[in-house]
Amino acid sequence: MAIFTEPTCGEPPGISWFDDEELSTRSARAGRQTGGETESPMPFVCPQCSVKSLKVTSKIELPSDSRSDEITLQIVLCSRCGFAGLAVYEESRRGALGSESFDHTGYRVSVDDLRRVKRAIERCPKPRDRRCKCSAHCELGSKDASGRWNGLKDVQRKDAFRLKL
């Protein structure tokens, strides 16, 4: 996959990803962690088990594009059933005062694609800084010719779901 490269931000080599068993363990801990990876204060409804147990465990803030003022790429994990996927939060504040709009969409993806995105997020020294110029931000924040974000162009998304509180 072209958008994922080896670390170039000065981080130590050998960043590891967890296996499927550890994925379930990490997702079960997602609600108990503070700081670090866990970002979601309130769980979302899991698309697999339909329980409010899906949490954002990792994220990277990306530069705005021709449509959205805020773009955040997230890893989501369910503490109940172990489901893991990607989510994208986009918000636009363009137009009349008070005319904000947002979209928060999740995607089922392969374990390999999930691992690649997770590694890219881990490579970034400042994942909360959309102005960071590291390789992860350049890769995941890529845009098409019209200026629209397409950082997941090489990730095969199996189906989309809305993130509901």
How confident is the model over 112-158, as pLDDT tens digits?
999 999 999 999 999 999 999 999 999 999 999 999 999 999 999 99
Is residue 6 domain-resident?
no
Is residue 8 domain-resident?
no
User: What is the count of structural domains for the chain?
Assistant: 1
**What pLDDT sits at residue 41?**
73
DSSP letter at 165 equals -
**What pLDDT sits at residue 132?**
96
- Output the average pLDDT for the chain: 80
Domain of residue 65 covers 28-162
Question: Checking DSSP bridges between strand 157-162 and strand 70-78, what pairing results, if any?
Answer: unpaired
Q: Would the pLDDT of 36 be above 70? A: no
The encoded tokens of residue 44 equal 């979302």
More confident residue, 34 or 37: 37
Sign of the alpha-carbon dihedral angle for 10, 75, 110, 141 = negative
> Looking at this protein, which amino acid is placed at residue 15?
I
Is residue 15 domain-resident?
no
Please spell the DSSP secondary structure of 78-127, one letter per residue: ETTT--EEEEEEEEE--SSTT--EEEEEEEEE-HHHHHHHHHHHHH-S-T
Q: Rounded to an integer, what distance in angstroms lies between the CA atom of residue 3 and that of residue 147? A: 17
**What pLDDT sits at residue 24?**
41
Report pTM.
0.76
The encoded tokens of residue 108 equal 């089922």
The encoded tokens of residue 58 equal 């990792």
Is residue 146 domain-resident?
yes
Q: What share of the chain is helix, strand, coil (3-state, %, to 5)?
A: 20, 30, 55
Task: Give residue-wise pLDDT tens across range 63-122.
Answer: 999 999 999 999 999 999 999 999 999 999 876 766 678 999 999 999 999 999 999 999
Is residue 78 domain-resident?
yes
> At 135, is the secondary structure helix, strand, or coil?
helix
Is residue 134 domain-resident?
yes
Is residue 3 domain-resident?
no
Task: Give residue-wise pLDDT tens across range 4-23.
Answer: 333 333 333 332 334 444 44
Is residue 100 domain-resident?
yes
